[in-house]
Amino acid sequence: RMKKDYFKKFKEQDFVRAYEEELKSLGASAPYVSRDDVILRALHSGKGRYYISFEEASRNVRRIMNRLPLTCRNELKVSMYQELAQRVAEYMKEKPLASFKDTLFTILAEEKASRFFFGMQTARLILYRNQRGETV
């Protein structure tokens, strides 16, 4: 339970920061860009990480590598695990002596994810709560 909240805080902070950076980068044109467009830009900014525990990542990446179905139904979560599995495979091809554990640990610790793996609704909620001073 605590673990999930622990990652949630960082995920929300990072997303709010990415949103604010996107807004800033628009400069004078910011007022003419819809909020949802800015949210989309932030979601795909590549400024997030993989906000999951090593255990959860390990279990799901191994399932993918062993061609087993994932138990989670959330499409974005599934694509996150697929991305992780792909990165693990690429890393291990480049460094054949690296163990699965070390590889996964390194990627989780050092690499940014290609996107924030949640949708518009969650993004809007995070921003709404942030503006009301409830999170972050």
pLDDT digits (tens, 9 = 90+) for 22-78: 999 999 999 999 999 999 999 999 999 999 999 999 999 999 999 999 999 999 999
* pLDDT in the model for residue 6: 82
Lowest mean pLDDT among 2-16, 42-56, 97-111: 2-16
What is the amino acid identity at position 10? F
Euclidean distance between CA atoms 54 and 60, whole angstroms:
10
CB contact at 8 A, 107 and 87: yes
* pLDDT in the model for residue 3: 60
CB contact at 8 A, 89 and 104: no
* pLDDT in the model for residue 132: 87
* pLDDT in the model for residue 133: 82
| pLDDT beyond 80 at 129 | yes
Structure confidence by residue, pLDDT tens digits, 112-127: 999 999 999 999 999 9
- pTM, two decimals, is 0.89
* pLDDT in the model for residue 2: 54
* pLDDT in the model for residue 122: 96
C-alpha torsion 132→126→35→114, nearest 10: 150
pLDDT band per the 50, 70, 90 thresholds, residue 5: confident
More confident residue, 83 or 134: 83
Euclidean distance between CA atoms 75 and 2, whole angstroms:
24
